[in-house]
Structure 1
Amino acid sequence: MNESNEVTRPVTVAVMGTHSTGKTTFLRRLEERLRRNRIEVTTVADLGYDALKAGLPILDRHTWASTTWIITRGISNELEAWLHADVVLIDRGVPDALGYYEAALEYRNRVPDPQHIKHLEDMVVGHSRHYDFVLRTVLDPEVPLGDTKPRDTDLKFRALADQRIEGVMNRLGIGHDTLTSTSHERALVDAMAYIGLRLSDPDLKIPWNDDPPPAAAAPAS
């Protein structure tokens, strides 16, 4: 493919985590700040409700098929969003769906099919490399479930999803920072600073998650 036919990827911010842990609230606040700075931004929304409307099982009933649908539809929506904004905010990046699927299997005492898991892992790893700034929410059991949209009220499954999403991201080496119920302000400042730097120099490599950059190789003797 000619380079002229390639899509220029915008700055992407993806947030993962179990339900009712502040993902949508954080992204809404970040979107407001970006718009105040006259930055073109679009948000790719959570696909759980769309999956339900399509007749697919979600939450603790997730299957390989429903998980594949959410991952592939999410990738498609994200790629479309690349065409319309300088910054794309993603409410549930693709690792989230795999974490929910593994949580659903554990909840139902089902043994995962290794081939299915490998197929999903390959898609998740392949696409996650396009995420620039990645956050994973941390469940605070003291924070109640929100009431702004239909929610699963099973607290055991909510906790399992939290654990499994963390496990997926660590197992697959998807670098990220954590977003707690008390760290939104710091994360907003970090995200705005990162986005500003990336927009000013798209090729700049920035260790946004406080990890030190790799040590330079020693010169050959």
Structure 2
Amino acid sequence: MGAHSTGKSLLMRRIEMELRGQGAAVARTGGLGRRAAAVPLPKMQYHTAESTKWVIATGIADEVVAAAGLEEGPVRVVLAGRACWDAISYFRAAQEWRQQAATRADREAVDQLASAHGPAYDLLLATVLDPDLPVKDKGHYDPRYRKMVDRHTHDLLREEGLGYIRVTSEAASQQHAIEQVLQICMPQRPVAHSVWPTS
């Protein structure tokens, strides 16, 4: 989870490589943002309850298909490119950006959809926005909205009492996240002794 262009895809690729190197059968979902662009629904700061439900439902469907397609083995892992809670963070940020409050029915609808699937995740990782890092495509990004998404992501996770790991742009933070994933997915693997920066 996390705001756009905060290193989610790169981190997922690194995790996937590590897991495959340990012999795990891995499937990774992704590309939801690109597919959403082809759907005639509001995007980014214009997200609505309907577009949010589409993102959540499509993401869940992707995860189900990924799990079904994994080969049999002792360790089977699905890496979800955007956990279902992610769409709610974008939805809440869009409401704030537009200064429009969603109806209670809309809030409950998207929350219930995510809550029903939430227990499927063994671990949540949430990136932290580093405003000093460049954005790939600034033309589509409102920097104020991006900051709102970052704040709502971490607020939502705390509100829901969801255990998660904050991942900053620092190499040590990313390595820690990878180690936590490996610890959950490959508990019997030999313990790696990493050299951590002292400064």
Fold in common (TM above 0.5):
yes
Residue 132 of structure 1 pairs with residue 122 of structure 2: yes
**Structure 1's 151 and 87: CA in aligned 2 closer, same or farther, altered over 3 A?**
farther
Distance 2:139 2:150 in 1: 15
Secondary structure in 2 matching 1:91:
coil
- Give the Å deviation of 1:193: 1.8
Distance 1:198 1:94 in 2: 29
Distance 1:198 1:90 in 2: 23
Distance 1:90 1:46 in 2: 11
Distance 1:46 1:167 in 2: 25
In the other structure, the counterpart of 1:119 is: 109
Bigger helix fraction: 2
**Structure 1's 132 and 105: CA in aligned 2 closer, same or farther, altered over 3 A?**
same
Q: Work out which of the residue numbers 5, 8, 11 in structure 2 matches 1:26.
A: 11
| Deviations 1:131-169 (CA, angstroms, capped at 9, x unpaired) | 00111111111112135xx87331101000111111222
Instruction: Note the 1:82-121 alignment, pairs <5 A.
Output: 82-85=67-70, 86-121=76-111
Q: TM-score, normalised by structure 1?
A: 0.78
**Structure 1's 109 and 68: CA in aligned 2 closer, same or farther, altered over 3 A?**
same
In the other structure, the counterpart of 2:187 is: 197
**Runs of at least 5 residues in structure 2 that lack an aligned partner in the other structure:** 71-75, 190-199
Q: TM-score, normalised by structure 2?
A: 0.86
**Structure 1's 119 and 176: CA in aligned 2 closer, same or farther, altered over 3 A?**
same
**C-alpha RMSD over aligned residues:** 1.7
Q: Residue 54 of structure 1 aligns to which amino acid in structure 2?
A: V
**Structure 1's 197 and 84: CA in aligned 2 closer, same or farther, altered over 3 A?**
farther
Distance 2:33 2:43 in 1: 7
Query: How many residue pairs end up in the alignment?
Result: 182
Q: Work out the percentage of aligned pairs sharing the same amino acid.
A: 32
In the other structure, the counterpart of 1:163 is: 151
Secondary structure in 2 matching 1:140:
coil
- Give the Å deviation of 1:198: 8.4
Q: Residue 192 of structure 1 aligns to which amino acid in structure 2?
A: L
In the other structure, the counterpart of 1:188 is: 178
Q: Residue 169 of structure 1 aligns to which amino acid in structure 2?
A: L
Distance 1:136 1:168 in 2: 11
Q: Is the 8 A contact 2:42 2:51 kept in 1?
A: yes
Q: Is the 8 A contact 1:48 1:58 kept in 2?
A: no
**Runs of at least 5 residues in structure 1 that lack an aligned partner in the other structure:** 1-15, 200-221
Q: Work out which of the residue numbers 167, 178, 183 in structure 2 matches 1:179.
A: 167
Moved over 2 A (4+): 150-153
In the other structure, the counterpart of 1:56 is: 41
**Structure 1's 111 and 198: CA in aligned 2 closer, same or farther, altered over 3 A?**
farther
- Give the Å deviation of 1:173: 2.0
